[in-house]
């Protein structure tokens, strides 16, 4: 098992903008790293450069302390699990798992021991004589992982391994991959465009946009302290709300009213003109159900609720607003970067299931002002 260091990695195809642009990421031994971002951000290209399926235009790829830029894939001793699993349809589960060991000329006794051990770990031991065509999607996935496990590889690499599965199976497999990775303690790099997979699986997550690393941090850090508008909008569901904001002293003027923010936050946003405030749906609440001590005029505003979706333990309230032209362009660009998410011309507020707010109400909404982020509309940088 080995750590992986990507040092100023560049990939240039033709003369367009680089598919991967000066990316540096350290993956520690035993760590589960997620590469995430919208389609075309360069995550698969980066993975393919780790495994050696793609040449590196610039920078160094170091695996287990050794520079591997010029090593062929088989010399890197990594195990890759592809989206389509790449199983041999004419071979049994047993032979599919045994394949890399046979290729390496291992003795029959060792092959048998390893295949049985892996298939037990993956709960495939009852299906060893079946062919891939007779397996469920999840079982096929596990066979592909079995083949990766038996090789004693330095690291596992996954390229969107769950994207062909239905939602339920995807959830199950996610848990299974996580459990297995922890048990084996093997360094893992996993590519996905799904932020839920990224947040639930990764020890750390690297968010990419157009070949450029935006932030590399733990899921909690990404959620609580996104580096910029892009990461803030990409991580979290429903997504963070973005609102035009004017900061005066420690008062923030939002389309619905003015709230008071902590002074240290306000200090970082002085004199910058119109900003974009980012507030997660979870950081609002119906003032009637929130702790009474928290409900002050400085932290509440009145708004007309357009639609309420009640889900049992929580409800989403939708509140339309108009964004002034100064920030509209920036928000429209953000929507494009985020791969066509719907335009945010409404505030989404997550309310406790106990809330009695209903459609058409003029509700008093509390906002957790400590959790407000303020972004520079020109650079997208999180100022707070
Ligand atoms: P997806 O999730 O859609 O696979 P991705 O984030 O994995 O996207 P990549 O496949 O790494 O993105 O592609 C990054 C960029 O490089 C894209 O603009 C893509 O068009 C380009 N690209 C990828 N492979 C090649 C290639 N062989 N030749 C030229 N351009 C390529």
Residues 157 and 219 in one domain: yes
pLDDT score of 83 = 67
Residue to mutate, 19, 20, 48, 159, ligand 1, most ligand atoms under 8 Å from C-beta: 19
Q: Is 192 in the pocket of ligand 1 (CB under 6 A)?
A: no
Tell which residue, 155, 5, 183, has the closest CA to residue 80: 155
Q: Is 206 in the pocket of ligand 1 (CB under 6 A)?
A: no
96 inside domain: yes
* Distance between CA atoms of residues 235 and 226, nearest Å: 8
* Distance between CA atoms of residues 168 and 184, nearest Å: 25
The ligand 1 atom at the shortest distance from the C-alpha of residue 193 is: 2
Residues 185 and 275 in one domain: no
CATH number of the structural domain spanning residue 165? 3.40.50.300
* 71 CB-contact burial (10 Å; exposed 0-12 / middle 13-18 / buried 19+): middle
Q: Is the pTM of this model over 0.80?
A: yes
Q: Is 193 in the pocket of ligand 1 (CB under 6 A)?
A: yes
pLDDT score of 342 = 45
Residue to mutate, 45, 197, 213, ligand 1, most ligand atoms under 8 Å from C-beta: 45
What the block records as the tokens of 96 is 């599919």
Domain final residue, candidates 198, 229, 260: 229
Q: Give alpha helix (H) positions in the chain.
A: 43-51, 73-76, 93-103, 108-121, 137-149, 167-184, 195-201, 219-224, 229-234, 263-267, 325-337
Domain final residue, candidates 166, 198, 229: 229
Measured in Å, residue 161 CA sits from the centre of ligand 1 at 17
Sign of the dihedral defined by the CA atoms of residues 297, 298, 300, 302, in that order: positive
Domain total for the chain? 2
Q: Which tens digit of pLDDT belongs to each residue from 150-178? A: 888 889 999 888 887 778 878 888 888 88
ipTM: 0.97
Going from the C-alpha of 71 to that of each of 4, 16, 211, the distances in angstroms are 14, 27, 23
Domain of 33 in residue numbering reads as 4-229
Residues 51 and 145 in one domain: yes
Tell which residue, 129, 162, 131, 128, has the closest CA to residue 146: 128
Residue nearest to ligand 1 atom 23, measured at CA: 45
Interhelix angle 108-121/93-103, rounded to 10 degrees, is 130
The ligand 1 atom at the shortest distance from the C-alpha of residue 20 is: 14
pLDDT score of 326 = 66
Residues 255 and 225 in one domain: no
Measured in Å, residue 49 CA sits from the centre of ligand 1 at 12
Backbone φ and ψ of 263, nearest 5° = -65, -35
18 inside domain: yes
Task: Give CA angle at 376 (373, 380), nearest 5°.
Answer: 90
Residues 89 and 19 in one domain: yes
Q: Torsion angle of alpha carbons 276, 280, 281, 287, nearest 10°?
A: -90
Residues 245 and 225 in one domain: no
Measured in Å, residue 84 CA sits from the centre of ligand 1 at 17
Q: Which tens digit of pLDDT belongs to each residue from 211-269? A: 999 999 999 999 999 999 999 999 998 889 988 888 999 999 888 888 999 999 999 98
CB-facing half-sphere around the CA of 247: CA atoms within 13 A: 26
Q: Under a CB-based contact definition with an 8 Å cutoff, are residues 235 and 223 in contact?
A: yes
Measured in Å, residue 148 CA sits from the centre of ligand 1 at 25
Domain final residue, candidates 180, 198, 229: 229
* Distance between CA atoms of residues 195 and 219, nearest Å: 10
What the block records as the tokens of 35 is 């590469």
Spell out, as residue ranges, where the chain has pLDDT lower than 50.
342-343
Interhelix angle 137-149/93-103, rounded to 10 degrees, is 20
Q: Is 216 in the pocket of ligand 1 (CB under 6 A)?
A: no
pLDDT score of 327 = 66
pLDDT score of 61 = 97
86 inside domain: yes
* Distance between CA atoms of residues 49 and 38, nearest Å: 19
Q: Under a CB-based contact definition with an 8 Å cutoff, are residues 64 and 18 in contact?
A: no
Residues 364 and 335 in one domain: yes
Residues 200 and 265 in one domain: no
Task: Give CA angle at 88 (149, 161), nearest 5°.
Answer: 55
382 inside domain: no
Residues belonging to the chain: 384
Residue nearest to ligand 1 atom 22, measured at CA: 19
Q: Is 280 in the pocket of ligand 1 (CB under 6 A)?
A: no
pLDDT score of 97 = 94
123-126 contacts at long range (C-beta below 8 A, 24 or more positions apart): 124/93, 124/97
pLDDT score of 247 = 92
At a CB cut-off of 8 Å and minimum separation 6, what does 36 contact?
Answer: 43, 191, 192, 193, 194, 195, 197, 198, 205, 206, 207, 208, 234
pLDDT score of 219 = 96
pLDDT score of 137 = 76
Q: Under a CB-based contact definition with an 8 Å cutoff, are residues 351 and 314 in contact?
A: yes
What the block records as the tokens of 40 is 């075309």
48 inside domain: yes
């Amino acid at each position: 098992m080995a750590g992986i260091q990507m040092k100023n990695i560049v990939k240039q195809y033709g003369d367009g903008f680089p598919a991967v642009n000066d990316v540096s990421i350290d993956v520690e031994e035993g760590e589960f790293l997620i590469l995430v971002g919208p389609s075309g951000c360069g995550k698969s290209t980066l993975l393919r450069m780790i495994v050696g399926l793609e040449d590196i235009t610039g920078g160094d790829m170091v695996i287990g302390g050794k520079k591997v830029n010029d090593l062929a894939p088989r010399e890197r001793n990594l195990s890759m699990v592809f989206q389509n699993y790449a199983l041999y349809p004419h071979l049994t589960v047993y032979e599919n798992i045994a394949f890399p060991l046979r290729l390496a000329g291992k003795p029959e006794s060792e092959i048998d021991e390893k295949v049985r051990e892996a298939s037990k770990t993956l709960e495939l031991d009852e299906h060893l004589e079946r062919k891939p065509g007779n397996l469920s999607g999840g079982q096929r996935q596990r066979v592909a992982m079995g083949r990766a496990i038996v090789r004693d590889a330095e690291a596992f690499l996954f390229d969107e391994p769950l994207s062909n599965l239905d939602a339920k199976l995807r959830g199950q497999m996610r848990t299974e991959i996580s459990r297995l990775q922890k048990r084996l303690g093997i360094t893992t790099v996993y590519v996905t465009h799904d932020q839920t997979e990224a947040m639930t699986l990764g020890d750390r997550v690297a968010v990419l946009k157009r070949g450029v690393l935006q932030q590399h941090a733990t899921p909690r850090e990404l959620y609580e302290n996104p580096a910029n508008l892009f990461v803030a909008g990409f991580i979290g569901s429903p997504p963070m709300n973005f609102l035009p904001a004017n900061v005066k002293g420690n008062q923030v003027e939002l389309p619905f009213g003015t709230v008071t923010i902590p002074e240290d936050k306000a200090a970082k946003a002085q004199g910058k003109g119109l900003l974009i405030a980012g507030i997660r749906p979870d950081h609002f609440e119906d003032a009637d159900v929130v702790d009474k001590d928290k409900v002050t005029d400085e932290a509440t505003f009145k708004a007309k609720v357009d639609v309420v979706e009640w889900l049992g333990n929580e409800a989403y309230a939708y509140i339309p607003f108009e964004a002034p032209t100064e920030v509209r362009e920036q928000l429209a660009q953000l929507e494009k970067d985020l791969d066509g998410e719907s335009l945010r011309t409404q505030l989404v507020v997550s309310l406790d299931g106990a809330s009695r707010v209903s459609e058409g109400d003029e509700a008093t909404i509390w906002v957790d002002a400590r959790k407000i982020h303020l972004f520079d509309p020109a650079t997208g940088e999180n100022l707070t």
